[in-house]
Structure 1
C-alpha cells in the first residue's frame, strides 16, 4: 500500500516536537504545559515523545536552545560584515520579522520565568542551561555590535521592552509605542 507522504525520521520528529513545544510552552508556561499537549500538537504519541526526549525538562531546554539559536542566526545573518552601527540597525530590522510570531515572543518570556522558578526551586542545572542559551545569544550579538557592553545592553533592553509590549497586546496606536524605533510595527504581530 502506497503512502501519501514519506515517513518522518526521528530527527524530523524531534524538530516537530520542539516546534510544538514552543507553541504549547508559550501558552501555558513550563509548569502549566503537559507533555500530552505537546505530543498532540506534534502529532506523535506520548510514548514516542519520550523516546525522543527523556522528560518534559529536556523538551523545554531543547525548545529554549532552538528559540535562542534562531534569533542568533537571524542577528548574525543581518549583521555579518557590517560596521557596528549598521549591524545594530540591520539586527533591529531583522528582529521585526521574528516578533510577528507572538508565540515565539511569549516563549522567550516563559524561558525567563522558568529560569527564575528553577532557581527558586533549587534546580540550578536547569536554570544554568537556560542562562547559557541566553548568554550565547548575548555574546554573539555583542560581537556584532563591536564588543561594546553598553551598546549590547541597550540593544537587548530595547528588544526586551518590545517583547513585553507585544506580549501584553498593546495596540499599535497606544502611547507606549511612541518612542519605539519606527522599524518595529506592533500591528504586525
Structure 2
C-alpha cells in the first residue's frame, strides 16, 4: 500500500469537501462525513485543517479557481465573441461533467450570506477574493468590457440557478439563453 503525503491527503480532503458541502451545505456537512469520505480519522483531518471553516474555504477556493482555470484555458489566445463562445461551452462542460462544482458554488453564496448576517466579514472576504479573480479571468478575454463581462456572468448565474433547481432542458425558462453566450444543457 502506497502512503499518501500530507499534501496528497489535503487534496483528497478538498475534493471530498467539495462533494460533501455541495450536497449538504456548510451547516449540514459534518467533518466526520468528510473524514469518512477520504478514509481518515477526524483528528487527522484537523491536523491538515484547523477547523471546518478552513475546510469550507479551501473547497470554495478550489471551486472558484477550477472555474477560473476552465475559463482561462478556453479563452487562451481568443478575444471577443470567440472567447465568449469558448468560455460558455467550457462552462457547459464543467457543470455537466462535475455538477458538484456547480452545487458548491451555490452553497458558497449561502454560506457567505449567513456569515455576513452573523457579522463574520472575514469569511466572505476570502470567497469574494476568489470571485474577483474569476471576474478578471472573464473580463480580459472579453476586451475588458464591463458590460460583456457582466452579461456573461449574469447568464452564468441564471444557468446555475436553473440547473440547481432542476429545470429540464426544453423548459421555457431556458428559452432566453440561446445565442453565443448560451451554455444551455445539451438538447436545448
Q: How do residues 27-66 of structure 1 correspond to structure 2 at under 5 angstroms?
A: 27-66=23-62
| Structure-2 separation of matches of 1:145 and 1:45 | 46
Give the TM-score normalised by structure 1: 0.93
1:60-110 Cα shifts (integer Å, max 9, x gaps)? 110111111101111111111112221111000111111112221111011
For residues 8-32 of structure 1, what are the alpha-carbon distances to aligned partners after superposition, in whole Å with 9 as ceiling and x for unaligned? 1111111110011011111111111
CA contact (8 A) 1:171 1:187 kept: no
* Runs of at least 5 residues in structure 1 that lack an aligned partner in the other structure: none
- Offset at residue 55 of structure 1 (A): 0.4
CA RMSD of aligned residues (A): 1.4
Deviations 1:154-174 (A, max 9, x none): 000000110100000111121
Confirm whether residue 75 of structure 1 aligns to residue 74 of structure 2: no
Q: Within 1, Cα distance between the matches of 2:130 and 2:75?
A: 20
Specify the SS of the correspondent of 1:31.
helix
Q: Please identify runs of 4+ aligned residues in structure 1 that moved more than 6 A.
A: none
Query: How many residues are paired up?
Result: 184
Task: Give the C-alpha shift of residue 124 in structure 1.
Answer: 0.7
In terms of mean alpha carbon deviation, does 148-157 or 81-90 score higher? 81-90
Q: Which of 2, 5, 10 is 1:9 aligned to?
A: 5
Q: Could you tell me the TM-score, scaled by structure 2's length? A: 0.93
C-alpha distance 37-187 of structure 1, shift in aligned 2 (>3 A): farther
Deviation at 1:187, TM superposition (A): 5.6
CA distance in structure 1 between the partners assigned to 2:152 and 2:117 by the alignment: 28
